[in-house]
Amino acid sequence: MKYAGPLSALSVALLLSACGGADQDIALVKGENPKLVDPERGLLPSMTIADPVGWGDKKPTVPEGFTVSAIATDMQIPRQTLVLPNGDILVAEGRGGNAPKLRPKDVIAGYIKAKGTTSVKSGNRLTLLRDADGDGVYELQKIFADGLNAPYGLALANGNIYVANQDSLVRFEYQEGQTEASGEPVKVTDLPHRINHHWTKALAASPDGRFLYVGIGSNSNITERGMEAEVDRAMIWQINAETGAHKPFATGLRNPTALTIRPDTDQLWAVVNERDELGPNLVPDYLTSVQEGGFYGWPYSYWGQHVDDRVRPQNPDLVAAAIKPDYALGPHVAALGVDFSSPVMGEKFAEGVFVGEHGSWNRENPSGYQVVFVPFRNGKPSGEPVDFVTGFRTAEGTHGRPVGVTVDPRGALIVADDLANIVWRVTRTQ
């Protein structure tokens, strides 16, 4: 089959009508012990276009006792944010990836997914936001550095701002109060970027600044490009911040899209986007602590020892060693942001993590499109997720899509919205 041009709405509808797949109660596919259904296979997954409509005079919905405001607009695809010690906020802006389509259904899925993204040009830059008088209005919006290559992950350590581009980890020297970079970025190390099916490179720094952790997604859904394309992919690297020397820290993570360290510990946590084309209810994206040397299943299995029989050859030994993640976020929610909370967010939201869920494309009944709070107890997720920032998708269409989430120690949650190109700030009203 040869792709001949844009698909009409009718042709897409006809193709999808044969795909089927009933959605179960999505609440059953969340939490510490999700109920996993049998896989469903078909010509195409069920799909629902995001249908962007803009915010107009509306805003996201937040819990009682909180308020939300747009602190930056007209961005160029904001992805992740970093709150600096003086309260300034850095925003990584851009879009990457250059993987060719392999199959006719990849072309169709790409067309569907593109309908739910912004048409704004990739910024390839860092923008600095400043609220000098602390009134919640960020009166300064200034380019800190440009000419980057799809920047995504951000971290501050060792007097440097580290940036994970889609092809390299770089650093800028930083003095508190700077509003723009004082020089060109210095390369720490190259990052895998051939094909770049999953291009985002998540980033976190160890508390002592000695190591940097970079999440590197797979080059396929389930090895359809061959295992050669997956060398150094679907894993988290540990990088020596001084020398750039690196090694795999954990493997079998299909697409680790955001990383964070639990406060007062050295424990790395990640949110991971799992595989597609096993039906609308498989496989749940997840939140997990990351064990050094651990293997988390991809491509051979999911959620521990659930074997994916599409993979050839099989690897029973690795399946047996696969670590079950800590917490299921739900199928296809596309978690792209994570950060630990603190008491500044109020008693109910003091212990746990916030997760930015970009939203599904391959479910008839969409999932995600919100920021959730996952409560913790004794250092582990415990209990049902709480909807924290919602209203990104309504009956009118899709107003926005959350990506990175960052807790501001001054008492706010910063949310990047890469569809509306807005940075939101959620604060307590007390």
pLDDT at 212: 98
Say yes or no to pLDDT of 107 above 90. Answer: no
pLDDT higher than 60, residue 21 = no
For residue 190, the tally of other CB atoms under 10 A from its CB is 12
pLDDT of 287 above 80: yes
pLDDT, average across residues 177-198? 97
The rounded mean pLDDT for the chain is: 92
Q: What is the pLDDT of residues 228-242, one digit of tens each?
A: 999 999 999 999 999
Query: pLDDT tens digits for 377-390?
Result: 999 999 999 999 99
The region of weakest confidence among 13-17, 161-165, 264-268, 323-327 is 13-17
Residue 2: its pLDDT value, please? Answer: 33
The DSSP result for 247-273, as a single string, is: EEEEE--S-EEEEEE-TTS--EEEEE-
Coil vs helix vs strand at 318: helix
**pLDDT above 70: percentage of residues in the chain:** 92
Q: How far apart are CA 206 and CA 211, in angstroms?
A: 5
- Region 31-38: mean pLDDT is 96
Starting from the edge strand earliest in sequence, which strands make up the sheet with 402-408, in order?
66-72, 422-428, 412-417, 402-408
pLDDT at 136 over 70: yes
Whether residue 52 is preceded by a cis peptide bond, meaning omega within 30 degrees of 0, is no
CATH number of 29-428: 2.120.10.30
Judged against a pLDDT cut of 60, whether residue 8 lies above it is answered with no
Give the tokens for residue 1.
């089959």
Q: 362 falls in which pLDDT band (50, 70, 90)?
A: confident
